[in-house]
Chain A
């Protein structure tokens, strides 16, 4: 069984002729053996109220037992406590997602939300980037979330389980010591690229903190699989593709 902690559904402006509905994304991941899909709404990135976009993933969970919704919470909206409570009360939600670059807030302004998420036993993924800034629309340039801010948040909130979502290989190499040493700081593999990149992170001692993420439908599931499977033996690969996430997310 493979667990994907970073899948999406919904439109993305740069995607052309790529199906992004729930069923299509699910099918594209099933083709590569993914049996648990943690799915967030991609439309939340550009929405004035990302909470309105969460409906699609809650409905997906009603339709498919293998889809676990990952609602996006925006702490700049006054309704964030209610949205967090809704997530915490949902029968399958284990993780919420923050998109600080798109919501234009810093992680130092999220401490109250982090405390509430920890109390509710919800994992929080901070999406570092959605795609390479060089490929952004020139009128819609969105900077990466500084990975150091995520590491600092993990230090401030030792009871919170945090995931760096979509960090690059270079970023994760730079922060490997923090990921290794902070017990509840994790990272997904969805945007790790370069020769032996995941293998090098394993060699750096953070194999137990890496979670498989496909970034589908923005990126191709096959590519996400290859970066893990082509360079690692079965035990290390299964850890990243299943066991680490199963332990963290009770999936």
Chain B
């Protein structure tokens, strides 16, 4: 096998939509001076691994666990500037905190309703069982966008406001019309997969943790390929390392294509798009 043929084997044979990306100014090892530079550098490295489009959400450059509404607005404005610089590649998500439900709903209306952001991002301010999420979920349903909810099962202990997959399942049952993306397949593991088995309005993204063997296969076998979606969690994780969890998995080629592209189009209501915009 030549290096050239090996390189080819590690790249996708079609377009790829990464549903879980942060700006470099949140978690990246590179310093960037502006949202425009952030978008350019992020896309350059994503392209080397074959990613064509990405959902991007900022958690504010200081990544506070308990952001203020102002910090959320600042983060969202940053991502909107990234989107404006690279509109073909970047689908921005609106970051809000359930600690301020009224402000969160207003921010969703501003960003999703007014600026056509593609989804809502929830991190670790409150667990998904918190009732502060309810108006946020109702706003997302009303505007017909998905919500990406951070989740982990850490043996070292979750943060106080950090959701487990069981919390996400609870959220999904409370809001059966919501489309929920649970982050971090490799962070929630086999127990996380099981927690989602009977809540059909949740898909799991492939990010989180190391590229452990067998996890994508386990998710596809238990949930179905239609409920698994490619997410890298870049820049914390490498676009290509995460993508090759899917490309290297022992699953059908059609399932790989669904995970890398088709499922994201369905979740984001972009079904009219069928190819590589570049």
A residues near B, CB below 8 A?
Answer: 14-18, 32-33, 131-138, 141, 169, 173, 191, 193-197, 200, 216-227, 229-231, 234, 237-238
Contacts and interface: CB of A to CB of B under 8 A. Distances in A.
A17 B189 CA distance: 13
A219 to B, nearest CB: 5
B180 to A, nearest CB: 23
B248 interface: yes
A243 to B, nearest CB: 12
Nearest to B237: A193
Contact of B189 (A135, A141, A195, A231): A135
A230 B248 contact: no
Q: 7 closest A-B pairs (Cβ-Cβ)?
A: A222-B248, A226-B240, A223-B211, A33-B1, A195-B235, A222-B244, A230-B240
B210 A219 contact: yes
Nearest to A195: B235
A218 B209 contact: no
A15 B237 contact: no
Contacts of B11: 230
B211 A135 contact: no
A132 B10 contact: no
Contact of A193 (B3, B24, B210, B213): B210
B154 interface: yes
A141 B154 CA distance: 11
B156 interface: yes
Interface residues of B, number: 46
B155 A141 contact: yes
A238 B211 contact: no
B45 A16 contact: no
Contact of A219 (B1, B211, B217, B247): B211
Nearest to A20: B213
Given A141-B155, A220-B245, A222-B10, A234 B3 contact: yes
Interface in B89-115: none
Given A17-B214, A132-B209, A218-B212, 17 more contacts: A16-B214, A18-B214, A33-B6, A135-B155, A194-B236, A195-B238, A195-B239, A196-B45, A219-B212, A220-B213, A220-B248, A223-B240, A225-B6, A226-B244, A229-B10, A230-B48, A238-B3
24 contacts: A14-B189, A15-B212, A15-B214, A16-B190, A17-B217, A32-B9, A132-B210, A134-B209, A135-B189, A135-B209, A193-B238, A194-B236, A196-B29, A219-B213, A220-B248, A222-B244, A223-B211, A223-B244, A226-B10, A226-B238, A226-B241, A229-B6, A230-B7, A231-B240
